[in-house]
């Protein structure tokens, strides 16, 4: 198959028009290198039509923007008859700007003279814009990174300052419990220098001197389970400083960046505080114990006196002795409670278990309560025929305490209710009053030793130990004691006991 020359040039013409690149051909033999051919894409690219293009030099594409360096590159290549490639700023017929990626190639005749140049053009404005955006973004990013680094350096310095000033011993560990750093307070308190610890596994430091029971296990859990621990109390003998009692807290350090997987272990030395607390408790224990005997003697003597006054029908003196005896009973109650607190704390209370029907316990408790205060009607209902096992007098002490509280804190009401319910293999005893109530934030705290609600202190007398004792007694019986109440809405104190 052989096409004629004309046919071939027609096909080349179609091919050129089909190209997405703008193509121009200039005649180098003519003055000012005029354009002798342009394809349709060039028309589309520039907005000019063929008639406006043919015969012109390509420079019309630069409009007024003549001082571009890239023009020199083109001019030099044309003068030397060489190929070149430049990105040059060009303008369409409507004046709008575009970036032109221009490739120029010379066409030579048999003598080697450059007869034509072929220029291939491409609108790369979008690519240029994307490049410029990218550069701007990179600069922004670099700025942000450097700002962030500054911030981090500042906060690192700030943290280091805090860590060094704090009056608590601090240790930073990695996920293998390798010591990374300790603060000055640690060095001073434990008489170990940072160098002796850093880089070593905490459990192996100083021949295992820091291998504290339970602590290593808790520390190993901090990172995998994200489980911090608080107020873990230990007593341990350390090298150089001897036996110490510590309160330990540990948490994952959650700073971003290089400190992410670290454990911060804070240690508070409570040896001294613990010693003073113990002395105080021992004193309360001893003092209340020592007061019991003289008080029993005083009570005996007063009762004797009272009897003889009554026989002599001296009611004035007998009444005064009555008042003294009632105050003495209160004092005895307080001392018995203080003694209970101290014994409960030292684990010295013995519980004597017997089996009994709940109604017997209720009757005894109600009777004892009435002997002390008879201001309210006490109504008992529910499953009082249940057989339970426990320390009768201690459980009765709990009931009396809750009933007296119910009366004391509901002075404007006339009734207190006890209801016994069976819940699974437990009985639940609920004591309800319609008194001043307790706000939610104090529901836990009222069971703490010596805690009293501030607002009640002026109005109601008390030492803040009754509920603490009740809770200990109930828990020693494998039950729980809690309160449900709202301020000014009365209160229900409930406890459970397992049914035997």
Buried b vs exposed e over 123-157: b needs ≥16 C-beta within 10 Å?
Answer: bbbeeeeeeeeeeeeeeeeeeeeeeeeeeeeeeee
Nearest approach, Cβ of 183 to ligand ADP (angstroms)?
40
Q: Which stretch binds ligand ADP (CB under 6 A): 120-128, 221-229, 377-385, 459-467?
A: 459-467
Q: Which stretch binds ligand ADP (CB under 6 A): 101-109, 260-268, 301-309, 445-453?
A: 445-453
CA distances in angstroms from 367 to 374, 377, 402, listed in the order given: 10, 12, 14
Nearest approach, Cβ of 383 to ligand ADP (angstroms)?
23
Q: Which stretch binds ligand ADP (CB under 6 A): 89-97, 364-372, 418-426, 451-459?
A: 451-459
Which tokens is 245 given? 């009692």
Taking CB under 6 A as the criterion, the residue among 123, 340, 417, 433 binding ligand ADP is 433
**SS3 for 394?**
helix
Nearer CB in complex with ligand ADP: 52/456? 456
Taking CB under 6 A as the criterion, the residue among 321, 335, 453, 481 binding ligand ADP is 453
Q: Report DSSP state, residue 490.
A: -
Nearest approach, Cβ of 281 to ligand ADP (angstroms)?
17
DSSP E strands in 202-309: the ranges are 229-238, 242-253, 262-269
Query: What's the number of CA atoms in the CB half-sphere (13 Å) around residue 205?
Result: 24
Q: Which stretch binds ligand ADP (CB under 6 A): 63-71, 259-267, 348-356, 449-457?
A: 449-457
Nearer CB in complex with ligand ADP: 40/413? 413
Euclidean distance between CA atoms 43 and 93, whole angstroms = 10
Residue among 44, 62, 134 at smallest CA distance from 102: 62
- Tell me the sheet residues that pair with 419: 381, 430
429 binds ligand ADP (CB under 6 A): no
Nearest approach, Cβ of 344 to ligand ADP (angstroms)?
13
Nearest approach, Cβ of 471 to ligand ADP (angstroms)?
9
Taking CB under 6 A as the criterion, the residue among 464, 476, 482, 498 binding ligand ADP is 464
333 binds ligand ADP (CB under 6 A): no
Total residues found in the chain within this entry: 500
- Total residues at the site for ligand ADP (CB under 6 A)? 20
Q: Which stretch binds ligand ADP (CB under 6 A): 34-42, 265-273, 362-370, 455-463?
A: 455-463
DSSP E strands in 205-359: the ranges are 229-238, 242-253, 262-269, 354-357
467 binds ligand ADP (CB under 6 A): yes
Neighbours of 84 (CB within 10 A): 18
Euclidean distance between CA atoms 42 and 71, whole angstroms = 19
Nearest approach, Cβ of 290 to ligand ADP (angstroms)?
23
428 binds ligand ADP (CB under 6 A): no
Residue nearest to ligand ADP (CB): 462
Q: Which stretch binds ligand ADP (CB under 6 A): 78-86, 346-354, 365-373, 446-454?
A: 446-454
452 binds ligand ADP (CB under 6 A): yes
Taking CB under 6 A as the criterion, the residue among 99, 186, 409, 426 binding ligand ADP is 409
Nearer CB in complex with ligand ADP: 203/333? 333
Q: Which stretch binds ligand ADP (CB under 6 A): 92-100, 208-216, 328-336, 465-473?
A: 465-473
Residue among 431, 413, 349 at smallest CA distance from 377: 413
120 binds ligand ADP (CB under 6 A): no
Nearer CB in complex with ligand ADP: 288/306? 288
Beta-carbon contacts of 389 under 8 Å, excluding residues fewer than 6 positions away, are: 353, 354, 355, 356, 500
Q: Which stretch binds ligand ADP (CB under 6 A): 88-96, 220-228, 310-318, 434-442?
A: 434-442
Taking CB under 6 A as the criterion, the residue among 187, 329, 456, 484 binding ligand ADP is 456
Strands 426-433 and 415-423: antiparallel
Q: Which stretch binds ligand ADP (CB under 6 A): 76-84, 92-100, 321-329, 433-441?
A: 433-441
Nearer CB in complex with ligand ADP: 171/473? 473
DSSP per-residue codes, 3-65: --HHHHHHHHHHHHHH-SSEEEEEETTSTT--EEEE-HHHHHHHS--HHHHTTS-GGGGGTT-
Nearer CB in complex with ligand ADP: 58/406? 406
Euclidean distance between CA atoms 287 and 281, whole angstroms = 10
**SS3 for 90?**
strand
Which tokens is 113 given? 């003279």
435 binds ligand ADP (CB under 6 A): yes
Nearer CB in complex with ligand ADP: 222/404? 404
Nearest approach, Cβ of 392 to ligand ADP (angstroms)?
21
DSSP per-residue codes, 418-478: EEEEEETTEEEEEEEE-SS---GGGTTGGGSTT---HHHHTTS---S-HHHHHHHHHHHTT
Nearer CB in complex with ligand ADP: 87/448? 448
Binding site for ligand ADP (CB under 6 A): 405-406, 409, 433, 435-438, 446, 452-453, 456, 462-468, 491
């Amino acid at each position: 198959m052989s096409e004629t020359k004309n046919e071939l040039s027609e096909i080349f013409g179609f091919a050129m028009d089909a190209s997405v690149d703008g193509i121009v051909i200039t005649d180098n033999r003519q003055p000012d290198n005029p354009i002798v051919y342009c394809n349709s894409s060039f028309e589309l690219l520039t907005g000019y039509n063929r008639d406006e293009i043919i015969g012109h030099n390509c420079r019309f594409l630069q409009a007024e923007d003549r001082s571009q360096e890239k023009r020199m590159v083109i001019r030099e290549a044309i003068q030397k008859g060489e190929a070149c490639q430049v990105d040059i700023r060009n303008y369409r017929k409507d004046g709008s700007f575009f970036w032109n990626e221009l490739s120029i190639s010379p066409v030579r005749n048999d003598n080697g003279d450059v007869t034509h140049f072929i220029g291939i053009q491409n609108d790369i404005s979008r690519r240029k814009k994307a490049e410029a955006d990218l550069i701007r973004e990179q600069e922004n990013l670099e700025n942000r990174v450097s700002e962030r680094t500054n911030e981090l350096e500042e906060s690192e310095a700030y943290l280091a300052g805090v860590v060094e000033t704090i009056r608590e011993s601090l240790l930073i560990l990695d996920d293998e419990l390798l010591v990374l750093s300790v603060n000055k307070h640690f060095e001073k308190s434990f008489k170990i220098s940072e160098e002796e610890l850093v880089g070593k596994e905490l459990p192996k430091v100083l021949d295992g001197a820091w291998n504290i029971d339970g602590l290593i296990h808790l520390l190993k859990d901090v990172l995998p389970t994200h489980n911090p621990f608080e107020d873990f109390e230990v007593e341990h003998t350390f090298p150089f400083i001897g036996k110490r009692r510590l309160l330990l807290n540990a948490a994952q350090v959650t700073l971003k960046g290089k400190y992410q997987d670290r454990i911060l272990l804070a240690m508070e030395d409570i040896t001294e505080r613990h010693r003073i607390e113990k002395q105080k408790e021992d004193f309360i224990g001893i003092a209340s114990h020592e007061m019991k005997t003289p008080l029993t003697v005083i009570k005996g003597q007063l009762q004797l006196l009272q009897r003889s006054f009554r026989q002599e029908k001296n009611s004035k003196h007998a009444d005064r002795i009555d008042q003294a005896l009632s105050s003495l009973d209160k004092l005895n109650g307080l001392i018995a409670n203080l003694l209970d607190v101290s014994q409960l704390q030292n684990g010295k209370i013995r519980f004597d278990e017997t089996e009994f029907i709940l109604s017997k316990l209720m009757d005894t408790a109600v009777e004892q309560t009435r002997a002390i205060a008879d201001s309210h009607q006490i109504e008992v209902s529910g499953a009082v025929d249940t057989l339970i096992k426990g320390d009768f007098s201690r459980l009765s002490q709990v009931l009396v305490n809750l009933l007296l509280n119910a009366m004391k804190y509901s002075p404007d009401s006339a009734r207190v209710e006890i209801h016994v319910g069976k819940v699974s293999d437990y009985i639940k005893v609920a004591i309800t009053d319609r008194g001043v109530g307790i706000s939610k934030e104090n529901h836990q705290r009222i069971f703490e030793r010596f805690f009293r609600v501030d607002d009640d202190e002026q109005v109601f007398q008390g030492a803040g130990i009754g509920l603490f004792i009740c809770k200990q007694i109930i828990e020693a019986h494998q039950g729980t004691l809690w309160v449900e109440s709202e301020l000014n809405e009365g209160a229900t104190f409930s406890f459970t006991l397992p049914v035997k």
